[in-house]
Structure 1
């Protein structure tokens, strides 16, 4: 295996992140969201959105690479109040970090890239004074739920339902420590 690394993204990476997102969403989420939603997603200006996300001051975008290939990305930062609130809307007792997105291109899966991305994001969130992370995962996405469970994260009982345009998508919120270590 070529050298695998995680590095901060820069605006010139926006096109590659958009490519990975389009490809992965088509492969992983077409059944959940429907072909129409995926087709609309394909037309969106993802490169522009990613360039803005990379420059946003309160979030960090990380890239997983293997050799000369970009194989995945992660977006992390302080959790907005509405993402961290309890189901009844009450604020959390702490200020958690949010893993807003963690995606590895399917053909590069099961090679440790997701773990390296999560560990890198968690280390920076911890360095910024946060001690707990949260993320949202589709309740039917067993692979992603399993990944976070292996990292020690678990559902905290909070759910949300998103309108996909052709139905609804139920997501569960997971939470866990930011004190993560990679194991080989």
Structure 2
């Protein structure tokens, strides 16, 4: 895949960039996921999820997401510092929440995860990942992006708010097996992002 065709806007410098994930990135993506979850979400996620992490299963799942996505609209991208994978994002067509009417034009994409390993934080990798996802989704015909955030996750909500996102009024509660988790949906119109970038 030609990265320039995927990322019409510049997404990096010589030291930092974003590119489509490759199958060989799956191990590092799974490692970044568990390290970030254990650091940022230890007090919220069930201990069994974090302590009984199956690295091989997670790697296989990410490799499948990269090589055999469920639809052509599903993608995984990685952030690099020099040649080191430091973060990733995954996105695809939006899933409806209970009671929500379908988008007849199918013009909403959903960011399912965007994580940067904590030791690589505050270097712009999250912003570059979000810009790349926005560009790819827009080039695929999306007019809107959405993401579900844990209600008490002030770091993530601050990040999305600084990028022009806002809550869209939808909430859901997930049953984790060790207590409910409430999530708030945030969104951004891609036309608005393009006009302000």
TM-score, structure 1 normalization: 0.89
Residue deviations 1:129-154, cap 9 Å, x none? 11110000001110000111111111
> Gaps spanning 5+ residues in structure 2: where?
1-12
Q: Which of 144, 147, 158 pairs up with 2:170? A: 158
Which shifted more, 88-97 or 165-174? 88-97
Partner of 2:86: 71
**RMSD across aligned positions (CA):** 2.1
Q: Give the secondary structure class of the aligned counterpart of 1:31.
A: coil
Deviating above 4 A after TM superposition, structure 1's stretches of 4 or more consecutive aligned residues are none
Does residue 89 (structure 1) correspond to residue 104 (structure 2)? The answer is no
> Gaps spanning 5+ residues in structure 1: where?
none
Residue deviations 1:56-81, cap 9 Å, x none? 0331110000112111000122213x
Partner of 1:148: 160
Q: Is this contact kept in 2: 1:37–1:164, CA < 8 A?
A: no
Does residue 59 (structure 1) correspond to residue 56 (structure 2)? The answer is no
Q: Is this contact kept in 1: 2:173–2:182, CA < 8 A?
A: yes
Partner of 1:109: 121
Q: Give, in angstroms, the shift of residue 165 of structure 1.
A: 1.4
TM-score, structure 2 normalization: 0.84
